[in-house]
Structure 1
Amino acid sequence: MKRIQLLALSLLLMAGCAQGQSKDYTFAKLPQLKSGEAVATFAGGCFWAMDEGMNQLKGVREVISGYAGGTTKSPTYEQVCTDATGHAEAVQVYYDPQVITYAQLLDAFFAGHDPTTLNRQGPDTGRDYRSIAFYRTPAEKAEIMAAIKRTNDSKHYANPVVTEVEPLTVFYAAENYHQNYFALHPDQPYIQRVSLPKVEKLRKAMVGHLKNNTALTMNE
C-alpha cells in the first residue's frame, strides 16, 4: 500500500501545476491601477507559488495570475499547457512603490523560484514554465539587469541565471480558479510539496518586508 501511495504521489508531482483543478473557465478581471500605484510582471514557473509569495509582501495590494510572453490572444490554461502559445505562466503585481521598490520585488522574484533552470521549475517542464522578468521602461530593464548581476555575484545558486528579460506587450488574466489558489487549497499535495517550499524561500529572503512574519508550515 505504501508503495502504491508513493507512486500516486510521484504521478501527482509529475503532473505538476496542470492537475487537480475545478473547471471554472471564467477569466479574472484586471484591477484598475490606483493613484500612486505601480505594476510589475514576472514569470517564475507555476504561478500559484509566485502569486502567494508576492501577495505576502508589504506594499503589494493585489496579485493576478495570468499569461504573458507569447503570441496567442486571450489564451486558455489548456492552450498555454500545450507549449504552443509562447506564453508563460506569470503574475502581475500591483504595488505601492513608496512601500516596496521595484528592485525589492526583483529580489523577491529571484528568491521565489530557481532562475537557473531553463524551461523548468521542479516537476514542471516546458517553455510555459520559463523564467522571465518583464519590463515596461528602460529604467526597469536596467534594474532587472542589475538584479541578475546581484544574483549571479551572490553565488546563491550554483549555476548562472537564465531568466529572460523581455518588454511586456500584453498580460492576460488567467481563469478565476487559478487566482489565490495557494491560499484556497493549502492541503493540496502539489501546494504542500512544490509551492510551499518556494513561498518559504521567498519569505526567508524578504523577512523584513512581510505583511505577516508568522512562519508557514507544511502538513505532514
Structure 2
Amino acid sequence: MLRPHKFIASFLLLTIIALSGCSNSDTQHLEGKDGFVLVTAPDKGEQVANFAGGCFWATQEAMIELKGVRKVLSGYAGGETSNPTYETVQTKGTGHAEAVQVYYDPKVISFEKLVTAFFYAHDPTQVDGQGPDLGPDYRSIAFYRTPAEYRSISGVIETVNASKHYPEPIATEVVPFKAFYPAEMEHQDYYPRNLWNPYIRNVSKPKILKLRAAFPGLIKSEYLK
C-alpha cells in the first residue's frame, strides 16, 4: 500500500499527465514533419487569409470557430527572417509576429466578415502587444493579397472606429502578404488541448468568449452549446 504522501504524489502525477493530453472533438487533425505542421494548398473553392493578433493560441481558436472555416494553422509572418522558430521569434529580432493562416470557404463566410471577426477577437488598438504579452512579435497585423482585400480591411477599420467599440483608434498594421512560416506542432490547437492552463483560462478564453458574444451568428453551433 502506498503511504499517504506517495499516494498524493502519484495522484498528482497522473492528473497532470491526463490533463496535458486532454483534447476535445473539435481539435483539428493536422499533419506534421520534423516537428512543424505542414502548410498545404487550399481545397478547391477555398481561399486563404492571414492575421496576427497576439498569442496565436487564441487567434487560432477564434478563427476555427467561425462558420466556413475549415482549417487554421499557427505560425509566423510579417518579418524577413526565413524559417523562424518559436525561440527565435521570442527574441524579438526576426521581425515576425505570431500569426495564423485561415482556410475558408468564401461562399459561407466573406473575407470582410473574417476581418471583422479578427478585429473583435483581440484588442487592435494596442501597439506591439496584447494584454500581458508585449513586443513586436505580439503586434496586430491584417495581411492582404489583393487590392480588394486591402479595401475590405480598410473599410472594416473605418466601420469599427466609427462605432466607438474601442475607446482608442485601431492600430493594426495593414501590410501585403509575403510569407507564412508554420509553427511547431506543439503550438497547433493548443487552446482546446490545454483548457486547464492558467494562461488559456485567464488570457485566451476571454478573447474567445468576447468573439462568441459579439457575433453568435458567425460561430459554429457546437461552440455555442
* TM-score w.r.t. length of structure 1: 0.85
Against the structure 1 CA distance between its residues 40 and 214, is the aligned structure 2 distance closer, same or farther, given a 3 Å change threshold?
A: closer
Q: Secondary structure at the match of 1:162?
A: coil
For the pair 1:106 / 2:91, whether they are aligned, the reply is no
1:209 Cα shift? 1.3
Aligned counterparts of 1:212 and 1:118: Cα–Cα separation in 2: 33
For the pair 1:55 / 2:79, whether they are aligned, the reply is no
Aligned counterparts of 2:115 and 2:85: Cα–Cα separation in 1: 27
CA deviations on 1:18-70 (whole Å, 9 max, x unpaired) are xx9xxx97111012211110000000000000100110111000000000000
The aligned runs of 1:188-207 (5 Å cut-off) are: 188-207=197-216
* Partner residue in 2 for 1:128: 137
Q: Contact 2:70 / 2:104 at 8 angstroms: preserved in 1?
A: yes
* Partner residue in 2 for 1:179: 188
* Partner residue in 1 for 2:48: 39
Letter in 2 for 1:92: Q
CA deviations on 1:114-149 (whole Å, 9 max, x unpaired) are 000100101000000000000000100010000110
CA deviations on 1:158-213 (whole Å, 9 max, x unpaired) are 00000000000000000000000001111100000000000111111221011126
* Partner residue in 2 for 1:16: none
* Partner residue in 1 for 2:103: 94
Aligned counterparts of 2:57 and 2:211: Cα–Cα separation in 1: 13
Q: Which runs of 5+ in 2 are unaligned?
A: 1-19, 21-32
Q: Contact 1:25 / 1:176 at 8 angstroms: preserved in 2?
A: no
Q: Contact 1:48 / 1:65 at 8 angstroms: preserved in 2?
A: yes
Q: Contact 2:65 / 2:223 at 8 angstroms: preserved in 1?
A: no
For the pair 1:146 / 2:155, whether they are aligned, the reply is yes
Q: Which runs of 5+ in 1 are unaligned?
A: 1-19
May I ask how many residue pairs the two structures share in their alignment? 194
Identity of aligned residues (%): 55
Aligned counterparts of 2:184 and 2:214: Cα–Cα separation in 1: 30
The aligned runs of 1:201-216 (5 Å cut-off) are: 201-212=210-221, 214-215=223-224
Letter in 2 for 1:164: E
Q: Contact 2:74 / 2:188 at 8 angstroms: preserved in 1?
A: yes
Aligned counterparts of 1:180 and 1:84: Cα–Cα separation in 2: 26
1:214 Cα shift? 4.7
CA deviations on 1:86-109 (whole Å, 9 max, x unpaired) are 000000000000000000001110
Letter in 2 for 1:176: M
1:215 Cα shift? 4.3
Deviating 4+ runs (over 3 angstroms): 213-216
Q: Contact 1:134 / 1:165 at 8 angstroms: preserved in 2?
A: yes
For the pair 1:161 / 2:170, whether they are aligned, the reply is yes
Q: Contact 1:47 / 1:90 at 8 angstroms: preserved in 2?
A: yes
Larger Cα-atom Rg = 2
Question: What's the Cα RMSD here?
Answer: 1.5
